[in-house]
Amino acid sequence: MSRKIRLLVVEDETAIRDGLVDLFVFHGYEVESSGDGKEGLQHALTGQYDLVLLDVMLPGINGFDICARIRERDREQPIIMLTAKSGDEDVIQGLSLGADDYVAKPFSVAQLVLRVQAVLRRSRLLAEQAGRIELGDEVVLDCDNLSGRCGVREENFTRREMELLQYLHSHASRAVSRDELLNRVWGYARDLDLETRTVDIHVAKLRRKIEPDPANPRYLVTVRGAGYRLQVE
């Protein structure tokens, strides 16, 4: 018998936390929860979870700091952050710290389930996407170990960042739209009405890691009106 998928929910609002636990238990997951930042961080660092669902505003330690601490220990841990709908800066900060995705409050329960399923599905597929990417002589990426170098600079990557690079690399002959990336890298259905800056923020992070001059991209370029293209020299 295969084991159940394990989720950790870190949310201080009791009604929301209990509702999320009930929701994902109903969908067949094993769920642990915490309403305190320090306790949630302890769970995240010591437990084995397939995904962490993490609120931003928490007592003790906020969600941003928890996300950063998790990423110091584990670059592959799937993380979805819950943010205030009006807090666009929360979205940017959370994704910059390494969250795989964000969901704005108040959120649709059905959409939240779909996003969790999408992140879990992509995390399982990563093992099938091993390899090495070379962008000219300066940039060499080790997809297996989520690492690489840009010139003499060594860089580490999150699982999601490497997935994005791998997909763009496998379609380097053309521009890839944001919608296609959301569908094929994040696993979202094409008919979902999603307002997300996830792709653009991840591209900005990657440019800081793989571009000699991020302000003037040489490898990860924008194709106006079409999306992004990875230029392989």
Taking only the tens place, the pLDDT of each residue in 84-121 is 755 677 778 888 888 888 888 888 899 899 989 888 88
**Burial state string for 17-38 with b = 16 or more CB within 10 A and e = fewer than 16:** beebbebbeeeebebebbbebe
Residue 193 has pLDDT above 60, yes or no: no
Residue 94 burial class via C-beta count within 10 angstroms: exposed 0-12, middle 13-18, buried 19 and up:
buried
Taking only the tens place, the pLDDT of each residue in 19-32 is 999 999 999 999 99
Q: 129, 91, 120: which is closest to 107 by C-alpha?
A: 91
CA 162 to CA 143: how far, in whole Å?
A: 6
Q: What is the pTM of this model?
A: 0.65
Domains of the chain, each with CATH number or no CATH? 6-126 (3.40.50.2300), 129-230 (1.10.10.10)
Q: What average pLDDT does range 55-76 have in this prediction? A: 90
Give the list of residues 6+ apart from residue 194 with CB closer than 8 angstroms, or none.
Answer: 182, 188
